Amino acid sequence: MADEEQSGFSFVDKRGVTPDPTDSPTSTKSDPELEMDTVHQEPIPAEADNSADVAGHGSAHGEMPRLNVRDRLLMCIDILNQGAWISLGLISDPSTGQIEQDLTQAQIAIDGVAFLSEKVESQLDAETRRDLNNLVRDLRLNFVQQSGR
């Protein structure tokens, strides 16, 4: 505590949890009117409504939103798109932080993006369809460029 006063700042616990000096050093008592937000570690007032306002969308503390097949295919396309860019060696792999090129894997990912794009495009609006076609085109062009090196 003396160090904190000398450094010009003081520690303020904004989590709504205060230590009880009569308990062991690791035990805490929390305000019953507050619930902890596990993502941001901030208190949430008890009266805060975490339920979904729109049917089919999950709350922050429970059910997952219902996804139709089109949404699931778009998620798969996004995953394969990222994998293609990583395999092309144009962005680093988030798991390793390294840039490594594997054109065989890139081709498989690009073919997967193109295939799934064809399957879902009839259910998309014109702008999204155009964006998806541009994505496939960009992947293919970059594959050709990287193959020529």
Residue 16 has pLDDT above 50, yes or no: yes
Residue that finishes a domain, picked among 66, 85, 109: 66
- Measured distance CA(32)–CA(46) in Å, rounded: 8
Do 79 and 52 share a structural domain? no
For 27-72, the pLDDT digits (tens) are 444 444 444 444 444 444 444 444 444 445 555 667 888 899 999 9
What per-residue confidence (pLDDT) applies to 64? 84
**Rounded to whole angstroms, how far apart are CA atoms 17 and 107?**
52
Buried b (16+ CB within 10 A) or exposed e, 88-121: bbeeeeeeeeeeeeeeeebbebbebbbebbeebe
- Give me the pLDDT at residue 65, please: 86
One domain, residues 73 and 47: no
Are residues 110 and 58 located together in one domain of the fold? Answer: no
In a shared domain, residues 83 and 24: no
Instruction: Please state whether the predicted TM-score (pTM) of the whole model is above 0.85.
Output: no
Measuring CA to CA, how many Å separate 41 from each of 27, 34, 35, 37, 140? 17, 12, 10, 5, 43
pLDDT exceeds cutoff 80 at 149: yes
Q: Looking at the structure, do residues 7 and 46 belong to the same domain, yes or no?
A: yes
Query: Does residue 44 sit in helix, strand or coil?
Result: strand
Range of the domain at 140: 69-147
From CA 38, how far away is CA 17, in angstroms rounded?
A: 13
Question: How crowded is the C-beta side of 63, counted as CA atoms within 13 Å?
Answer: 10
Q: Judge if 132 and 100 occupy the same domain.
A: yes
The number of residues in the chain equals 149
50 or 147, higher pLDDT = 147
For residues 35 and 78, state if they share a domain: no
Cβ atoms of 80 and 107 closer than 8 Å: no
Averaged pLDDT score across all residues of the chain: 77
Number of domains in the chain: 2
Residues β-bridged to residue 17? 30
Task: Tell me the C-alpha distance between 7 and 81, whole Å.
Answer: 49
Same domain, 53 and 78: no
